[in-house]
């Protein structure tokens, strides 16, 4: 069986080192990644899933906020990923958001962000590392709890922004011990999960690999449904 193809958006600045690591996680769990970004986009018809990767902060103009402390912005990438997220969800393509990507998923569905989350929740709680030093508590009866279990988990943290008001059709699936939102998910299909941490750096942890495996499984199901639909349409159109 061929591997589901997952589009992975990255920044032009750091994608060269981010994409191979995400692709490794996809390959381990049965998928295959293709790198997207500004100037690299392929049609959604040719992929089975979408990962919106991490990177620079999201411009506040996308959710009606005011430019505050954000120093690194990428308006072209913002517009690209917002449009991709909206189109993917509209077409039932499974989506995984990682860090910035989780925030973009929220914004694409009408939510807002806290531009200076560490000030809001306490700078004494700030952790910036790819190592699993931050504890998050998974909400029960959520998709994330079914994917990775309900026990608290240790994750990394590289972000400065966080989800504030939830987007339409989303719910919180994890918070850290200080109350900051660490994961969100779409209540109904299609599969859409956003995690504030970077599970690609934690591929040695089975609970983190499970996140990628869930995306690949959803992408495989999406591809099967799409192929069946195309086959039915072709049969109906045949003389």
Catalytic positions: 99, 198, 200
Report the C-alpha gap between 162 and 230 in whole angstroms.
Answer: 40
**What is the number of other CB atoms lying within 10 angstroms of the CB of residue 92?**
15
**What is the number of other CB atoms lying within 10 angstroms of the CB of residue 116?**
15
Report the C-alpha gap between 151 and 52 in whole angstroms.
Answer: 26
Report the C-alpha gap between 239 and 231 in whole angstroms.
Answer: 14
Report the C-alpha gap between 27 and 235 in whole angstroms.
Answer: 34
Positive or negative CA dihedral for 17, 19, 22, 28?
Answer: negative
Structure tokens at 63: 């959710």
Report the C-alpha gap between 214 and 73 in whole angstroms.
Answer: 30
Question: Chain-centre distance of CA 115, in angstroms?
Answer: 18
């Amino acid at each position: 069986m061929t591997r589901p193809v997952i589009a992975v958006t990255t920044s032009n600045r750091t994608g060269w080192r981010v994409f191979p690591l995400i692709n490794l996680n996809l390959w381990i769990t049965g998928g295959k990644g293709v790198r997207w970004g500004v100037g690299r986009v392929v049609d959604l018809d040719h992929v089975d899933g979408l990962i919106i990767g991490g990177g620079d902060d999201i411009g506040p103009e996308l959710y009606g906020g005011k430019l505050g402390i954000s120093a690194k912005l990428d308006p072209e990438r913002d517009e690209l990923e917002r449009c991709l997220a909206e189109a993917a969800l509209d077409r039932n393509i499974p989506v995984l958001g990682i860090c910035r990507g989780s925030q973009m998923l929220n914004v694409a569905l009408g939510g807002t962000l806290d531009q200076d989350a560490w000030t809001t929740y306490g700078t004494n709680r700030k952790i910036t590392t790819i190592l699993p030093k931050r504890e998050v508590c998974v909400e029960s009866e959520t998709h994330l709890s079914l994917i990775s279990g309900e026990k608290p988990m240790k994750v990394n943290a590289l972000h400065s922004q966080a989800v504030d008001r939830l987007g339409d059709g989303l719910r919180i699936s994890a918070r850290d011990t200080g109350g900051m939102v660490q994961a969100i998910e779409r209540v109904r299909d299609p599969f859409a999960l956003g995690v504030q941490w970077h599970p690609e750096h934690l591929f040695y942890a089975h609970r983190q690999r499970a996140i990628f495996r869930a995306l690949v499984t959803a992408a495989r199901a999406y591809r099967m449904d799409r192929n069946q639909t195309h086959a039915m349409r072709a049969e109906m159109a045949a003389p």
